[in-house]
């Protein structure tokens, strides 16, 4: 079977508004990768450069902080933190869901403010590796000042966008099976011809004789790679050999069941 690895890059975006309420909203609608004739083995997801833009009209405006020249770095930092977390605000949580459960877990939080004099604010929400068993979501939380609302000044909303990278592993499915006619005698001979398109091959000894098989033409009852006694089964291992097979029997002649998969 043939294994292929693909990398698919996409842009994703989602907007939260008053209709979103307090529910956790996945940042994209995940549909497992599919391709005709292939089976999906694994899909590893990465969300990169997640950003958000908010427009908040329902809250009192918060002016940009002004610092005195003599203010220390720590004082400036404390002022900025207090502005973020003690002002009238709506909270935006980043949440994660593992194994498609109903339990969304908060992993980060941001304050949505009505910033003066700008009509919107931008947020950098980081990079997130989702693997093959989790989903990232956004959730609005009421921290005492309500959720996103419609107001006379405008509609509150948050738009998040990111790059989604999908690392995909797929396997080519076998859709053709061919029964190979053969006649095995006491003289070593070819029982399966070379086929570079071969995806698999099996041998079943449906006869009452011992069969000796090899990938070299000099196969004998004393020198062989596979001995098949009556009712024995052999499947070629991976990496798959696509060359010719040769067979011999100790006495008389017979045939066995050989299936080649393409």
Query: Residue 48: left if φ>0, alpha if ψ -120 to 50, beta else—which one?
Result: beta
The pLDDT of residue 78 is: 82
The pLDDT of residue 247 is: 98
Q: What is 177-261's CATH number?
A: 2.60.120.770
Contact yes or no for 234/228 (Cβ under 8 A): yes
Residue 3 has pLDDT above 90, yes or no: no
Contact yes or no for 147/19 (Cβ under 8 A): no
Contact yes or no for 46/127 (Cβ under 8 A): yes
The pLDDT of residue 173 is: 81
Q: Is-same-fold flag (3-172; 177-261)?
A: yes
Give me the residues paired with residue 62 across strands. 115
* Eight-class DSSP state of 174: P
Q: Could you tell me which residues come within 8 angstroms of residue 13 by beta carbon, excluding any fewer than 6 positions away? A: 159, 160, 161, 162
* pLDDT bucket at 1, cuts 50 / 70 / 90: low
Structure tokens at 262: 């393409």
Q: Could you tell me which residues come within 8 angstroms of residue 260 by beta carbon, excluding any fewer than 6 positions away? A: 177, 178, 180, 192, 195, 198, 200, 201
The pLDDT of residue 90 is: 97
What is the assigned CATH class of domain 3-172?
A: mainly beta
Instruction: Dump pLDDT digits (tens) for 228-244.
Output: 999 999 999 988 999 99
The pLDDT of residue 212 is: 98
Spatial CA neighbour of 139 closest among 11, 3, 21: 21
* Eight-class DSSP state of 27: S
Residue 81, helix vs strand vs coil:
helix
Please report, for the chain, the start and end positions of each structural domain, with discontinuous segments joined by +. 3-172, 177-261
pTM passes above 0.75:
no
Phi, psi of 243 (to 5 degrees): -85, -165
Instruction: Dump pLDDT digits (tens) for 138-148.
Output: 999 999 999 99
Residue 175 has pLDDT above 80, yes or no: no
Instruction: Dump pLDDT digits (tens) for 10-67.
Output: 999 999 999 999 999 999 999 999 988 888 999 999 999 999 999 999 999 988 777 6
C-alpha 253/C-alpha 168 separation (Å) is 49
């Amino acid at each position: 079977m043939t294994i292929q690895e693909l990398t698919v890059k996409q842009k994703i975006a989602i907007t939260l508004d008053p209709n979103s309420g307090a529910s956790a909203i996945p940042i994209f609608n995940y549909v497992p990768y599919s391709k005709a004739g292939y089976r999906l083995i694994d899909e590893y997801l990465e969300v990169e450069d997640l950003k958000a833009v908010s427009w908040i009209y329902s809250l009192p405006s918060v002016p940009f902080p002004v610092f005195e020249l003599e203010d220390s770095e720590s004082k400036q930092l404390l002022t900025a933190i207090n502005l973020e977390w003690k002002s009238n605000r709506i909270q935006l949580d980043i949440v994660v869901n593992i194994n498609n459960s109903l339990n969304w877990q908060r992993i980060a939080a941001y304050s949505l403010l009505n910033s003066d004099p700008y009509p919107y604010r931008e947020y950098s929400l980081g990079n997130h590796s989702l693997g093959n068993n989790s989903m990232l979501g956004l959730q609005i939380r009421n921290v005492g000042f309500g959720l996103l609302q419609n107001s006379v000044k405008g509609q509150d909303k948050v738009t998040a966008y990111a790059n989604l990278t999908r690392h995909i592993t797929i396997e080519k499915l076998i859709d053709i099976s061919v029964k190979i006619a053969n006649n095995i005698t006491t003289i070593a001979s070819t029982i399966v011809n070379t086929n570079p398109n071969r995806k698999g091959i099996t041998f079943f000894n449906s006869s009452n004789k011992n069969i000796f098989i090899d990938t070299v033409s000099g196969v004998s009852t004393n020198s062989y790679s596979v001995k098949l006694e009556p009712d024995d089964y052999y499947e070629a291992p991976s990496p798959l050999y696509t060359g010719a097979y040769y067979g011999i029997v100790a006495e008389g002649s017979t045939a066995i069941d050989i299936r080649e998969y393409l």
